[in-house]
Chain A
């Protein structure tokens, strides 16, 4: 149980375009999801906390207009990278919280902006 499905697993886009990444909880309802970013050989950095039905909470230094988060239902959160640039190329991972201190992660999305 407690599976999170993340799509796409890989995406290549041109500079200036927008990319949407989806994160779905398959067998549980996730009122809270988290979006992380991982640079090569670096830690997973929390970008934002996605709350169902309300605005996301962004970590310091993360541009909310650049990384749009929508959590319109209890099973789906989306991260849209707007006007992507090469420096946005990274590995993005979502996570959902279930129960008390239960966390499950998506398989990640490798974004390459060319």
Chain B
């Protein structure tokens, strides 16, 4: 039972353009969502998060949008840079699941110069 899904395994964009990474979830008890960036053989690095009481959170080039009715969130990166090339994971947590994070499968982003 995949509670958090990232249906696009990969995404390729041109430098300077917008990258949009999508994530869907099934558990309506999730109330906090996070995006992580990960390089091979390294631990995930936190990017941005959003609480279920909000529908948007912005931090520099990164913006996360949450659509609770659709159980969908997305990460927008603009402008995209070659250094953004990595695997991006969305994760969800809820007060009912003792703080553990449930991760999506990840999306590999490649930003071409």
Answer yes or no: A67 CB below 8 A from chain B CBs. Answer: no
Looking at the complex, which of A12-20, A42-50, A74-82 is the stretch in contact with chain B? Answer: A42-50
- Please measure, in the bound complex, the distance between the C-alpha atom of A107 and the C-alpha atom of B104, giving whole angstroms: 19
Q: Which residue of A lies closest to B104 (CB)?
A: A43
Against B, the Cβ 8 Å flags (1 = close, 0 = not) of A94-106 are: 0101000101111
| In the complex, chain A residues whose CB is within 8 Å of the CB of B41 | 9, 91, 108, 110
Chain A interface helix/strand/loop/mixed = strand
The answer on a CB contact under 8 Å between A46 and B44 is no
Residues of chain A touching chain B, judged by Cβ–Cβ distance below 8 Å, are 4, 6, 9, 32, 34, 36, 41-46, 49, 57, 91, 93, 95, 97, 101, 103-108, 110
The answer to whether B105 and A42 touch across the interface, beta carbons within 8 angstroms, is yes
B59 on the interface (CB 8 Å rule)? no
Contact of A101 (CB < 8 Å), options: B45, B49, B89, B98: B49
| Interfacial residues of chain B within 32-58, with CB under 8 A of chain A in the complex | 32, 34, 36, 41-46, 49, 51
Please measure, in the bound complex, the distance between the C-alpha atom of A106 and the C-alpha atom of B46, giving whole angstroms.
12
Among B34, B41, B43, B102, chain A packs the most CB atoms within 10 A around the CB of: B43
Q: How far is the CA of A101 from the CA of B89 in the complex (A)?
A: 16
